[in-house]
Amino acid sequence: MTDQPTTGASAKAKDSCPHCGRSVGLSNWTLLPSRDNKRVLVCKSCGGHFALSNSCKMASMLGGMVGMAVAVALPFGWIVGFGHGSKLYLVLGVVVVALGFGLASVGLARMALGLEAR
């Protein structure tokens, strides 16, 4: 008999630091797409430097575009149509599209999360 845990307790978490193995304290804001390709983040536990993997960055961008497309196709037209094109409902529609972009972007980036040591 082995003394290995069978529940996967020893499995490494997706948001664990590549240096120390503890949680890096990653916020949702850092998962949004960024124009800075050389962005380096700092682990809140050990101070080690890391970056998001390329697959995580691409998933974030793809999720944002899909979320924005769905939000424009469905709720934006309904909201603006319901308000008969008034400025208030137009602004509300834009806010819904921005929220759709952000939620889908962060959600897909969380699913594809990977951290690389720098």
In a domain, 11, yes or no: no
State the pTM of this model.
0.81
Report whether 24 contacts 17 (CB < 8 A): yes
Instruction: Give the separation between CA 5 and CA 107, rounded to whole angstroms.
Output: 30
The residue among 9, 29, 28, 25 whose CA lies nearest residue 17 is 25
Please check whether residue 13 lies inside any domain of the structure: no
Q: How far apart are CA 110 and CA 56, in angstroms?
A: 8
Q: What is the pLDDT of residue 106?
A: 96
Mean of pLDDT over the chain: 88
Is 5 inside any structural domain? no
Task: Answer yes or no: are the C-beta atoms of 61 and 41 closer than 8 Å.
Answer: no
CA distance 91 to 113: 32
Domain count of the chain? 1
21 in a structural domain: no
72 occurs within a structural domain:
yes
Strand partners, 50: 41, 117
In the structure, what pLDDT confidence band is assigned to residue 11 with cuts at 50, 70 and 90? low
Q: Is residue 2 part of a domain?
A: no
Q: Is the confidence at residue 94, as pLDDT, over 90? A: yes
Structural domain boundaries, residue 85: 28-117
* 4 occurs within a structural domain: no
Q: Is residue 6 one of the residues assigned to a domain?
A: no
Tell me the residue type at 29. Answer: W
First CA to last CA distance, the chain: 40
